[in-house]
Structure 1
């Protein structure tokens, strides 16, 4: 059983539903992510740490289908990696992905980032990607990640700033969707500007400013396959019942969502279309 010595005693539930959900289109979008295109800011630290400690232990929180987790393995082949996510179904996919790659040093288990089932100081590296942006209590999650990280270990976080999207062509439908997705995020308890607040959040969680290394990273979707993955996820979501319900509470009608979906379909087929977004990144060295 995990130690509760330093846990937040908040009375909030031990988990919070993933606001985007686990639709097939979103999992396919997550499958596009790798350590190289999504966690490059961590890799130099991981390579260095693995050289000095081949038995490195890494925890990947909110790992989803495990494509980033699996690609960490090549940088710490003798280390131990544990992936967690709220959904046992998604963890099953992560196990299958690791097995398909012949990776044997990854363990996957369902767990809440608010109550990680591990002892204090258990890991050398703790990583989370696009998780805090969805939470109504990101501070609690950061404190929990710091708890399970050993002294002088690192907590690596990367979160989107959803205000900072850029896309071409800049059509009315995509502009409308950009506004909608931020409103839905906020109404579900998340914060679209989480990425730019990571330094502030980690300091509030107890990290020292001089032990926080901050950077900004990007995603770009431009090739036909990238456009299909990114745009297709939004088309599917706009036509899903979950989005219809959440958007309906905000005053949107189904015809509004269908216009946006058609806008994304057109964007996918536009040869010179592209999309970019900005992410805040921090490497926190635990005191």
Structure 2
């Protein structure tokens, strides 16, 4: 992936930084703890780490191991490094690198983790093949991807439903996958993984507390005002300027509504090497 279409502006990364190992990689943590008991000096690769909030949490779970966090943007890796430093986490390093050709030999890492990466790729199965290649025998590859069609809003406002469709349509127009969450097992099998190696499940995000509504809704409003999603949507005729205005107003009302909730379903897979 030579570029990341949504970009790394604050409107894009603000809600990413809400993510932690606990709320976004819970499917990996038991496996991580089990592996660390027999091999404390685990080597973990976090691909597409972004702002590094999940990466730092994973590093905290393996204090005697090491984490290498990669992304395609030097700027976002600088931000991730500053976050780790602010938490006093020292067993983590950062390197610019890009799927599908990561510069690491076969079997370099005990754990390979990718969160919300495959959904942005035109060849997710090829990316899984590359992630599995870098995992050592006895290790695990952990994947988690959103499904753009499994969002649940309350109140079920029409403008918010249309926003969900806008996000999905622009993602596909950029060459991404709007159903990645439900297709993770398929990607793994297409990558040559045997079915018996794959554990599959689903996990959710919930945005309902006032601070969570503000983080998510505020980020979506900024996207509607300034991001590539807005310009691409208008260019392709997916949305109009008037429609964008209605979506902004709906998000503003959603943030202020104490009844408001948003649930998002994510597919999760553990591949045992």
Q: If the length of structure 2 is used for normalisation, what is the TM-score?
A: 0.97
Q: What runs of 5+ residues in structure 2 fail to find an aligned partner?
A: none
Match of 2:132?
146
Q: Does 1:180 align with 2:160?
A: no
Aligned to 1:128: 114
Calculate the aligned-residue CA RMSD, in Å. Answer: 1.0
Q: Contact 1:84 / 1:111 at 8 angstroms: preserved in 2?
A: yes
What is the distance in 2 between the residues matched to 1:33 and 1:213?
A: 22
Q: Which residue is equivalent to 2:195?
A: 209
Q: Are 1:281 and 2:254 matched, yes or no?
A: no
1:236 maps onto 2:201 in alignment:
no
Q: 1:253 pairs with 226, 231, 240, which one?
A: 240
- Kindly indicate whether the alpha-carbon contact (under 8 Å) linking 1:167 and 1:274 is maintained by their aligned counterparts in 2: yes
Match of 1:223 in 2: 209
Structure 1's consecutive aligned runs of 4 or more residues displaced over 4 angstroms after TM superposition are: none
Q: CA deviation at 1:127?
A: 0.2
Query: Is residue 166 of structure 2 the alignment partner of residue 170 of structure 1?
Result: no
Structure 1: tracts of 5 or more residues without a match: 1-14
Structure 1 residue 229, shift from structure 2 partner:
0.8
Q: How many residues align?
A: 272
> Deviations 1:86-141 (Å, cap 9, x if unpaired)?
11100001111111111111001111021111111100000000110111111221
d(CA) in 2 for partners of 1:211 and 1:219?
A: 26
Cα deviation per residue 1:150-204 (whole Å; 9 max; x = unaligned)?
Answer: 1221100000111000010011110111111111111111111101000010011
* 2:102 is aligned with 1:110: no
Match of 2:249 among 254, 259, 262: 262
SS of equivalent residue, structure 1 residue 239: helix
Given the two structures, how large is their TM-score scaled by the length of structure 1? 0.93
Contact 2:70 2:94 in 1 (8 A): yes
**1:57 Cα deviation after fit:** 0.3
1:16–1:135: 8 Å Cα contact kept in structure 2?
Answer: no
Judging changes above 3 Å, is the alpha-carbon distance between structure 1 residues 119 and 177 closer, same or farther for their aligned structure 2 residues? same
